[in-house]
A and B are shown apart, each in its own frame.
Chain A
């Protein structure tokens, strides 16, 4: 006797494992092994993969509103094979729902719900509820836009249930609104409560299955009996491999699961549930007002009740399909209905240009959030990361504060100058030719303040000599600081003759304080732009006259704006970049934020650096009873 079998004997004597194994493997399959029996086992395999990948994700996921998204991002982008593990879990959940539907369809078709297997049918329905619960709770956990908004719809539906709705919703959410406790509660359900319920139900489900065995088709030759091992098990394993291969292919194709932008309660988001809930989602569109509950609760409730009651309704003995056409037909109709609703929902979204546009915006934001999170997320969470991001913050401020008057790239208010190409020679030339055009001051309170260099004012046609193009070009070169030395020289000369009477250069020239022509010494630089935004009437750009209440709708000083005052540098850089088509250099940024030299130009005083934090020196430990006043930086 070999050592191996002697060890086996010794183990068997102590555990009885051989009998157990035989019991598991030698289960009789009446009517012979069949491919149609694979779904239960494949479903089990799929759930095993969910369990393993779920444990792995648990080891790196942090459920709180400020950490969930960042930890999921970290899993997907920084951890070894993290994208693959999370991808398996994500696509595996979809596969589980599909397999569950197939398992239900197969057992219903074969009449496996009938006496004496009613209880097992019900355990199966219970398992279906648990699996859908896993889907619902798991979808929220990344705390991204997609999961956040889809789940909010689901919990709001809970809230519409009569009598108990409000309390149920509050319990599920852990409060009146979404936050840390929504996540911790959903997480507890997802990784604690639902798995426990699942194990209890699956044990009962399998035990009853073993008690009653498979439900062979009516025509099957019951004299033929296979054992579970090896034929049926081989079918099951191969089918599981096929299902698994599909999941892996999806994971590899998409390089893991998607992660939308961080959940943002203040955003508008085109919320859609995960694809297997789309039918329910579509149903909501058909029932309005008092009928709303038909779509949210009654119809799904009718389906659930029908499935539950099926073994009680269909009591005719025998599993022959002919006797059960009504019931099987009803289930088929249900599947068709779900399919049709899902298709209708997809179709509607494909045709809805508003949705497509919103989806595109959301996708761009998601891609950008994922990109900047590679550098790490601040402790306050990913929303703060986005808020502090210069590009996004700049865009937001522009939209909210600037574009109400100014235009850029064809979008905006139009009552203040178009800033497309601001800071360039072309912009100056256009202003000189048509200062009161729609692109400049036409609708602004400064309309009529600057004469055109090429068109005579009404009544002055006789004495008017339009400025030649070459001269305009030279002046524009001088003001914008770009051009050949000859141009700049000619521009400078022309400027002192033709422009300096109104426009000062570094405080030199111009009229008095009521003059509304801006100082053009630094026009086109980040420094000028920043001053203009902070306070247009501070003298660096315009003089105090520009803020005269007489100029109704003049530009405000954003240094006094509560929303923007901390972001003046940021928005100046954003507009500079957008208008000039290049980002400011480090020197330009330094110049714009450093104290400006006053005219006449004096040597720039070196900006006083903020004092270095230093340890408070009074830390002689030996003289005190508690001798270690840890000298933190003051």
Chain B
């Protein structure tokens, strides 16, 4: 500092500095803290997890050994919008035997692309990074860190199939549900 510090000027100078600091910090704090909370709104998890159950069709519509992609139709709340009877996603269904159906998420565990039937028509393949899976969902080749994600499926009265539509974290080897 270039200016001379006289003994009596010092406290008042300090007073000004403190006043400036306090006032600026007060304003910054009262704006900054709510601002951080505002931006962090999405971290306040609202979906309880567990996934909801959706009716996806009937058992006799499926052929043993041949996967079928079905849509999940339901209501959705996206921020302020509430929409009804929307396509929320799809699920692969595979009738393993007369009385048993398996459901697999179409979302590739690698980086989240939609899994399709492979060119050989005998396996699942991800069109993005060439992960391949058997019809049973077991990883065969490619970068996917885990098998395709199985979803709980129930066979109800009259052969009605109900799938629990869950989503899982992408890119890790464990199957961990989101939400």
B-contacting residues of A (Cβ < 8 Å)?
Answer: 45, 49, 52-53, 56, 59-60, 67, 70-71, 73-74, 78-82, 84-85, 88, 230-231, 233-234, 237-238, 240-241, 244, 248, 373, 375-379, 612-617, 619-622, 627-633
Contacts and interface: CB of A to CB of B under 8 A. Distances in A.
Contact of B71 (A52, A67, A632): A632
A628 B69 contact: yes
Interface of B: 13, 15-17, 19-20, 23-24, 26-27, 30-31, 34-35, 37-41, 44, 55-58, 60-63, 66-71, 73, 77, 79-83, 87, 90, 116-117, 121-122, 160
Given A233-B20, A620-B63, A621-B68, A82 B80 contact: no
B62 A617 contact: yes
B79 A230 contact: no
B23 A241 contact: yes
Contacts of B16: 230-231, 233-234
A379 B77 CA distance: 10
28 contacts: A56-B35, A56-B39, A70-B80, A74-B80, A78-B79, A80-B44, A81-B34, A85-B38, A233-B16, A234-B16, A234-B17, A234-B23, A240-B27, A241-B23, A241-B27, A244-B27, A244-B30, A248-B30, A376-B81, A377-B80, A378-B82, A615-B61, A615-B70, A619-B68, A627-B116, A629-B69, A630-B69, A631-B68
B57 to A, nearest CB: 4
A621 B67 contact: yes
B121 A621 contact: yes
Contacts of B60: 617
A627 B80 CA distance: 37
Contacts of A79: 38, 41
A75 to B, nearest CB: 8
Contacts of A60: 38, 79
Nearest to A382: B80
A301 B124 CA distance: 72
Contacts of A629: 69
B73 A238 contact: no
Given A233-B16, A633-B73, A240 B31 contact: no
B61 A627 contact: no
Contacts of B37: 80-81
A241 B27 CA distance: 7
Given A81-B38, A627-B121, A631-B71, A237 B31 contact: no
B66 A621 contact: yes
Nearest to B3: A227
Contacts of A88: 31
B68 A80 contact: no
Contact of B23 (A78, A238, A377, A628): A238
Contacts of B44: 80
Contacts of B26: 241, 244
A52 B35 contact: yes
B96 to A, nearest CB: 15
A613 B73 contact: yes
A230 B13 contact: yes
B71 A615 contact: yes
Contacts of B87: 632
A622 to B, nearest CB: 5
Nearest to A74: B80
Contacts of B62: 617
Contacts of A241: 23, 26-27
A70 B68 CA distance: 38
A234 B38 contact: no
Nearest to B65: A622
B2 to A, nearest CB: 9
A376 to B, nearest CB: 3
Contacts of B63: 620
B139 to A, nearest CB: 20
Given A612-B55, A614-B57, A633-B71, 11 more contacts: A53-B35, A56-B38, A81-B38, A238-B23, A378-B83, A617-B62, A620-B63, A621-B68, A622-B117, A630-B71, A630-B90
Nearest to A243: B27
A576 to B, nearest CB: 26
Contacts of B117: 621-622, 627-628
B81 A379 contact: yes
Nearest to B46: A78
Counting from the closest, the 4 A-B pairs by CB-CB distance are A376-B82, A617-B61, A230-B16, A234-B16
Contact of A237 (B24, B35, B66): B24
Nearest to B71: A632
Contacts of B81: 67, 70, 376-379
Contacts of B56: 615
B73 A628 contact: no
Given A378-B81, A612-B55, A82 B38 contact: yes
Given A80-B38, A621-B117, A379 B83 contact: yes
Contacts of B77: 376
Contacts of A230: 13, 16-17, 20
B121 A622 contact: yes
A631 B31 contact: no
Nearest to B158: A612
Contact of B27 (A45, A234, A613): A45
Nearest to A630: B69
A85 B35 contact: yes
Nearest to B21: A237
A385 to B, nearest CB: 9
A76 B16 CA distance: 38
A31 B44 CA distance: 54
Nearest to B79: A74
Contacts of B66: 620-622
A263 to B, nearest CB: 16
A255 to B, nearest CB: 13
Nearest to A622: B121
Given A84-B34, A614-B61, A631 B41 contact: no
Nearest to A59: B39
Contacts of A621: 66-69, 117, 121
Contact of B82 (A67, A80, A233, A375): A375
A68 B81 CA distance: 11
Contacts of A375: 82
A80 B39 CA distance: 8
A333 to B, nearest CB: 35
A451 to B, nearest CB: 53
Contacts of A59: 39
A373 B20 contact: no
B58 A67 contact: no
B73 A52 contact: no
A375 B83 CA distance: 11
Contacts of B82: 375-378
A84 B55 CA distance: 42
Contacts of A53: 31, 35
Nearest to B77: A376
B108 to A, nearest CB: 14
B174 to A, nearest CB: 28
A627 B68 CA distance: 9
A60 B87 CA distance: 24
